[in-house]
Structure 1
Amino acid sequence: MSDLDRALAAADDSLEKSLERLFGLLRIPSISTDPAYKNGCRETADWLKRELATLGFEAALRETPGHPVVLAKQPKAGAPHVLFYGHYDVQPVDPIEKWETPPFEPRIATTKEGKKVIVARGSSDDKGQVMTFVEACRAWKAATGELPVGVTILLEGEEECGSINLPGFLDEAKEELAADVALVCDTTMWGEGAPAITSSLRGLVYEEITVRAADRDLHSGMYGGAARNPLHVLSKIVADLHDADGRVTLPGFYDGVPVVPDTLREEWRALGLDAAKFLGPIGLSIPAGESDRMVIEQIQSRPTCDVNGMWGGYTGAGAKTVIASEARAKVSFRLVGDQDPSKVKQAFRAFVRERLPADCSVEFEGHKGSKAIQLPFDSPSLAKARAALADEWGVAPVTIGSGGSIPVVGDFKRTLGLDTLLIGFALDDDRIHSPNEKYDLESFRKGVRSWIRILAALAG
């Protein structure tokens, strides 16, 4: 048997023990947002520190102004080094009455489809996912006495309350956190039996605008037809943000948008995510994005502009015939590739000002923007991880983008200069953040085996 085969066999042989350890972790209430659970968060961090120390890691709790960070390191001379990130805090359990069993009393249940699942708060987000990696390291140590690569494990206790103290910690500890690539296991698979690697995260620009005209609301019978109506002005500006084909019309908006390789687009096409499958469950049928793009491109690899709220004038019950003195809107842009948030913000503000009548004024309130994160399409680490997942699952993993943001990935890139492989084994029906959160037993078992293979692949 090869070292890889021995490690896989060790993981299978110790599955029951692995579940016992996971259940021990799940029993500790570590709700980071509630001060009443401060001791539970520290107990969880201590538990993880002890477990990692038993695997030969130099493990410690690193204090922050909030909950401690668990930092564990096991270098290997002459081998690549990876930084694995996860979080040990969990969401509140409310509404408690919706839970079928107590949320911190983990159990194995059988679904109506006959699947075995682990039910507990944190089973999927993120304790179960963290333990897939820890148990993969345990299997390598049991089988060969060492890890195939150097490993640093960083587990934070404040992800569910905004990771407020993590950027400062990364800046202080950046020399200790040096690695070749970062690994994050806090994402989902494409579907049951279909692994995925999230290779990009869209960035964000968020603006609030207020258009003002008269110095007060006006009687529409007396002033209608003569006085400028800010709601009309703002509505036209908003309408001008897109052309008839769904493209955003800001000058220079598409600067820095990458060209997706044809091979990857064909992979996406083969997934069959058409408008009926994606929009049908929410009562829609016609994609509103760029007309020359597939739905899957519209939601993960293309930039967007959306009006998130728009109001002004009288919106209460009954009639009140006024011309509003001001109109407001909240507008967000999701960015991809090398789009520059500051340039998009400037282009948007110039776009609005150019369309503003002489007797109107505008005020902007900007929020912090973020750049998109894109793993290079030709990344060697990505290719190795894809091959490893294909070997385990028997199908090629889907390389996808995420329409949302995972702040730690941006922090890794900005502060540590690291690209990140986002590989998770959760499913969309895991009820994350909801009562009766679950994690498929098969997701846990094959998650451990997948990380065993990925570590071997990254070792070269």
Structure 2
Amino acid sequence: MTVNYKTYFDSLKEQHLDELKELLTIPSISALSVHKPDIAKAASWIADALTRAGLEHVKIHQTEGHPIIYADHLHAPGQPTVLIYGHYDVQPVDPLNLWDTPPFEPSIRDGKLYARGATDDKGQMFLHIKAIEAILKEEGTLPVNVKFVIEGEEEISSPHLPGFLDQHQEELSTDVILISDTSLFEKGRPAISTGLRGLCSLEVSVHTANTDLHSGTFGGGVPNALHAIVSLLASLHDDQGRIAVEGFYKGVPDLTQEMHEEFEKQQFNEESLRQDLSLDSLYGEEGYSFVERTGARPTLELNGVYGGFQGEGSKTVIPKEAHAKITCRLVGHQDPQDMLDKIEAHLCAHLQAGAKLEVKQMERANAFIIDPSNPYLQKAADAYETVYGTRALFTKDGGSIPIVETFTRVLSAPVVMMGFGLPDENLHAPNEHFNLENFDLGLLTIVEYLKSL
């Protein structure tokens, strides 16, 4: 039986968008405990949507954190099993004043759906539910066996999902893991990520005197916490943009000529990016292009630096403390714990006299890499070509999805990252949105991929 899925999805587009908008109104912010009831509401909404779509054994698994939802449809003997992963939690919305419309009041403008979670990851995860629903309604059965695992803690590094995977290894056994939480390379040019950077993070505090001091009475004679932390943070990079922490590049693979050529195939326009961001120039480690710096090289970034008086006007004070938040993106075989220990040792060695240091080590996640010649990835590239008219590029992404490496290691299955977002859709930022062109094409691509297996 030949089904025209484009006609099917076109006829139900408004209904599907109304359903997605309903999900997007739920402020399921996993990082903020005040939203725990909203997390539970979103989990229940997803479970109901999976049930309505025709999935079986739908269950909300409670954890010590936020719930994990499981569902399956296992009626294709002899065919591959596909485990589909997504997440229903979202990032905080600050700063609220930079949103053009309220983050949890979805609105469509210029062919884009605006709301927190529209592209990361409620919108993309929703595509899989509707694609499965379409095949079941139109054909009565699925061409493959399907399992869903949808969690509510991805935005806080999935602290409870690894334990869930370990405990349910047999139940979750699969031939391939399918994830839509990444982006096309650019409009009309699909991409499949074959690498994600790992992650580690830390908070740094510098303390000096036991109280803030008057800068006239004490200035020039006592240590200043802001001076100390600025000096300390400046020591983390050299003048060529390299990270100056001893041993930081241990485990980082050299980029071969062949790898340089693969990045060049992306034909990334650095000048266009510079203009779009209103920058005088791009910046980074010397000797590498933008896509190499962001896809295949490690980083150490300051995410926040604060201390002292920050109100309106002037206050002549010498602050007693100052703070910084740091994240590193890791590649190759860099060990997150080893990197954290090396950074802490560097900070201790470069601390200004008279200052005391406090370091809080936080997130840790390994980098992920997969061979693009894997048949499941090749079929995904074919599915994109059928729907988009151009075959997917195999890329390496600068971001981190910590659970991807865990999935492939624990379940011993390849991960296919079939994303439908765009790089400029403001994920994690105000005015997050999802281009509805890729909503339409994404549904068709997922159907095409599942049927091709």
- TM-score with structure 2 length normalisation? 0.79
Tell me which moved more, 151-160 or 289-298: 151-160
- Mark the CA change 1:325 to 1:180 in structure 2 (over 3 Å): closer, same or farther: same
1:367 match: secondary structure = strand
Tell me which moved more, 86-95 or 131-140: 86-95
Post-superposition shift, 1:389? 1.9
Partner of 1:186: 181
Q: What CA deviation, in whole Å up to 9, does each residue of 1:167-210 have, x standing for no partner?
A: 45434322211112211113322222111223333222222334
CA contact (8 A) 2:179 2:417 kept: yes
Partner of 1:73: 73
- Mark the CA change 1:213 to 1:418 in structure 2 (over 3 Å): closer, same or farther: same
Tell me which moved more, 427-436 or 363-372: 427-436
Partner of 1:64: 62
**Percentage of pairs with the same residue:** 33
- Mark the CA change 1:282 to 1:413 in structure 2 (over 3 Å): closer, same or farther: same
Partner of 1:49: 50
1:346 to 337, 341, 345: 341
* C-alpha distance in 1 between matches for 2:13 and 2:215: 69
Instruction: Tell me which amino acid in the other structure corresponds to 1:79.
Output: Q
CA contact (8 A) 2:53 2:133 kept: no
CA contact (8 A) 1:118 1:441 kept: yes
1:244 has 2:242 as partner: no
Partner of 1:10: 4
Instruction: Tell me which amino acid in the other structure corresponds to 2:48.
Output: W
* C-alpha distance in 1 between matches for 2:254 and 2:232: 29
**In the TM superposition, what are the counterparts of 1:222-371 in structure 2 within 5 Å?**
231-260=226-255, 262-263=257-258, 265-311=260-306, 317-318=313-314, 320=316, 322=318, 327-356=322-351, 360-371=355-366
* C-alpha distance in 2 between matches for 1:440 and 1:230: 46
Instruction: Tell me which amino acid in the other structure corresponds to 1:32.
Output: S
1:207 to 202, 206, 229: 202
Question: Which runs of 5 or more residues in structure 2 are unaligned?
Answer: 30-34
* C-alpha distance in 1 between matches for 2:324 and 2:140: 60
Instruction: Tell me which amino acid in the other structure corresponds to 2:299.
Output: T
- Mark the CA change 1:131 to 1:230 in structure 2 (over 3 Å): closer, same or farther: closer
Q: What CA deviation, in whole Å up to 9, does each residue of 1:78-109 have, x standing for no partner?
A: 333221112456789989x9659x947x8xx7
- Mark the CA change 1:17 to 1:341 in structure 2 (over 3 Å): closer, same or farther: same
1:19 has 2:17 as partner: no
CA contact (8 A) 1:11 1:135 kept: no
**In the TM superposition, what are the counterparts of 1:364-403 in structure 2 within 5 Å?**
364-403=359-398
* C-alpha distance in 1 between matches for 2:429 and 2:341: 39
* C-alpha distance in 2 between matches for 1:361 and 1:166: 37
CA contact (8 A) 2:90 2:155 kept: yes
* C-alpha distance in 2 between matches for 1:274 and 1:450: 27
Q: What CA deviation, in whole Å up to 9, does each residue of 1:318-345 have, x standing for no partner?
A: 36375x6555433332212221111111
Post-superposition shift, 1:231? 4.9
Greater Cα radius of gyration, structure 1 or 2 = 1
Post-superposition shift, 1:355? 3.0
Post-superposition shift, 1:238? 2.7
Instruction: Tell me which amino acid in the other structure corresponds to 2:263.
Output: W
* C-alpha distance in 2 between matches for 1:408 and 1:359: 42
* C-alpha distance in 2 between matches for 1:312 and 1:138: 52
1:401 match: secondary structure = strand
Post-superposition shift, 1:438? 5.7
* C-alpha distance in 1 between matches for 2:179 and 2:384: 15
CA contact (8 A) 1:45 1:68 kept: no
Q: What CA deviation, in whole Å up to 9, does each residue of 1:124-170 have, x standing for no partner?
A: 45454334334444565577765443321223456578766544543
* C-alpha distance in 2 between matches for 1:327 and 1:38: 34
- Mark the CA change 1:217 to 1:201 in structure 2 (over 3 Å): closer, same or farther: same
Instruction: Tell me which amino acid in the other structure corresponds to 1:72.
Output: D
Instruction: Tell me which amino acid in the other structure corresponds to 2:316.
Output: K
Instruction: Tell me which amino acid in the other structure corresponds to 1:10.
Output: N
Q: What CA deviation, in whole Å up to 9, does each residue of 1:384-432 have, x standing for no partner?
A: 3223323432223233333333344244245434442221212356576
Partner of 1:32: 28
* C-alpha distance in 2 between matches for 1:161 and 1:344: 20
- Mark the CA change 1:158 to 1:221 in structure 2 (over 3 Å): closer, same or farther: closer
Aligned-CA RMSD value: 4.1
1:248 match: secondary structure = coil
* C-alpha distance in 2 between matches for 1:123 and 1:327: 36
- TM-score with structure 1 length normalisation? 0.78
2:363 match: secondary structure = coil
1:405 has 2:415 as partner: no
Instruction: Tell me which amino acid in the other structure corresponds to 2:9.
Output: L
1:85 has 2:85 as partner: yes
Instruction: Tell me which amino acid in the other structure corresponds to 1:45.
Output: I
Q: What CA deviation, in whole Å up to 9, does each residue of 1:242-261 have, x standing for no partner?
A: 22221112222112223456
- Mark the CA change 1:363 to 1:188 in structure 2 (over 3 Å): closer, same or farther: same
CA contact (8 A) 1:312 1:326 kept: yes
Instruction: Tell me which amino acid in the other structure corresponds to 1:298.
Output: R
Instruction: Tell me which amino acid in the other structure corresponds to 1:320.
Output: T
- Mark the CA change 1:118 to 1:348 in structure 2 (over 3 Å): closer, same or farther: closer
Post-superposition shift, 1:295? 1.0
CA contact (8 A) 2:306 2:324 kept: yes
- Mark the CA change 1:27 to 1:340 in structure 2 (over 3 Å): closer, same or farther: closer
